[in-house]
Amino acid sequence: MAFPDIQSFMRLLEQRGELLRVTTPVSRELEITEIADRMVKQGGPALLFENVTGSDYPVAIGLLGTKERVALALGVDDLDGLAEKVRALIDLSGGGSKLGLLSNVTKLRDAMNLPPRRVRNAPAQEVVWRGDDVDLSKIPVLKCWPLDGGPFVTLPLVITKDPETGERNMGMYRVQVMSRNTTGMHWQRHKTGTKHLEKAKKLGKRLEVAVAIGGDPALIYAATAPLPPVPGLDEFALAGYLRGQRYPVAKGVTVDLDVPANAEFVLEGYVDPSEDWVMEGPFGDHTGFYTLPDLYPHFHVTAVTMRRNPVYPATIVGRPPMEDAYLIEASERLFLPAAQLIIPEIVDYHMPPAGVAHNLVFVSIKKSYPGQAYKVANGLFGLGQMMFAKVIVVLDEDVTVTDFDAVWREVTQKAVPGRDTLTTRGPIDVLDHSSRGWGYGGKLIIDATTKRPEEVGSAASSRPDQAGDVLSPEGFTPRAAQDLPTFDGVLAQRQTLDGYWLVALHKTRAGQARDLAAAFAAHPAAHGIRHLLICDDQTDVTDIQDVWWTILNNIDAERDVWVQQGLLAWDGAQKLPQEGFVREWPPKIVMDKDIVDRVDRLWNVYGLPEQWR
């Protein structure tokens, strides 16, 4: 099903009981975030806030807040259907016979739907603000978290054009409102928008920019998708393929850019590459930590266009699970066939919410020779945005990669610390606060596949005729001790039945985590343990998701993961200047207590069901 716009999708959700209206006045500053955060973490319905203080426009949030709603938005029964659509498109087979050629007609027709189509009358341009009429404060842009530097547009479709080739790009880069007619433009080092700006600077001209808010769900998803650099394949084309029809666009009223004809709002303007950049942030980011203030380009808004009765769609990002986890899962399914085309032994892969997309990848493979796990992991590091992956765990083909607990049980059973772990270096997401350098750091490969003789130093490894032999799982028996040792700064700890020792540490001195690892590894309680996970003092050791989320955010794998007397120690505590860490350490995102109390108090006033409180 193709949705004409976001409001038609909302109407369907409401008919299905998956969208609730809130008529009580609510604040765009923090209050909407707290309500929406509770909903998405419990798999609750989307929300439409009809009475936002200080604005005439309603706010819709959580529209893609479950796996099922994302599948509905993209026109498939479930997200695995996306893989089948792509597999059908890239498998233009059938041989040279007439019957074979006819079998491809439907596929080719789908492919021809890719280019967008220009329309003259665009709903997104029914109302136009120009010049002094532009006032971004009238749009209900949310301030999501207490330490945010201001209100941020969180579902922006940022459109630019290569100044040399004319190739379009659309990306979802957060947009901080700075004044009534200016914003920041969060183009990171690796983003296409940055490349377009650099080219404009060389040519000595401004870069035109349009920021669409809304459109239909397929386009919102497409703006988040890590598209490969294929000529002619852009986000409009991907949305057209997912919709099964060419995407409607209109020429901007003040910029020479195609904008979504069915958007709710469009901000048009320019970035002047000769102008000084502006300080942007902090921002409570998808990592669950604040990204700290930094300099970014300054976007000048020359016009705002909109529908006569627009809805402002928004999302929030922060501590997982959040709405973006389901968009990430959609991308997993969509690009699985392409990954298998390049690395054919891949059976499946998954990026769990605890890894906030780039920190953790589980991949299962059909293994046929020694060392294949490392071949696959290194191949993934070379695939587009997978280059930002921090930890890759490689598993046998029969392991369900979406079963978080089962994967980590496989790791303790089949991956011996040191022998089956390997660190390397490479690009790291610039939002990563713990890496050894900005955008550069350590990575970890864990080989949790069943080992062949060559991989364990068996005598059989010297006999080529036995290369097909495999070894049964290692004889490791996990055990959780009852009596655990004390150590300076340890606030809480526990051991799991599958071989993990979880510790919350209040760190006050350099080397404290290393000293703890040495003491605990030498203690009898380490007998049935393979992994020692040292977390910061804000971590709940009874919540394995919280533990892994903290660990994966707070490590540089080369610096902070090491073998300690047979244990793999992970130092996920805060890094100190005395340890040579010179960057500022950001805080975790926590909502203000008075906002939490207010939402608790008003929950029934909002008219929301008690089950989602």
Number of neighbouring beta carbons within 10 Å of residue 180: 13
- The residues with which 289 forms a beta bridge, in sequence order, are 588
Residue 303 forms beta bridges with which residues? 130, 268
Q: Of 216, 285, 324, 546, which residue is the catalytic one?
A: 285
- CB 411 within 8 Å of CB 381: no
Whole-number Å distance between alpha carbons of 378 and 340 = 14
Q: Comparing C-alpha atoms, which of 589, 591, 590 is closest to residue 292?
A: 589
- Amino acid in position 577: P
Say if CB 296 and CB 186 are below 8 A apart.
Answer: yes
Angle formed at CA 436 by CA 381 and CA 489, multiple of 5 degrees? 115
Residue 255 CB burial class (10 angstroms; 0-12, 13-18, ≥19): buried
d(CA 84, CA 562) in angstroms, rounded, equals 41
Question: Residue 141 has which token pair?
Answer: 């842009």
| φ/ψ (deg, to 5) at 444 | -130, 130
Closest CA to 408 of 563, 553, 547: 547
- 285 in catalytic set: yes
Q: What residue has token string 């995407």?
A: 247
The tally of CA atoms less than 13 A away on the side-chain side of residue 476 is: 24
Q: Are 485 and 525 in contact (CB under 8 A)?
A: yes
The answer to whether the CB of 9 falls within 8 A of the CB of 71 is no
Enzyme catalytic residues = 285
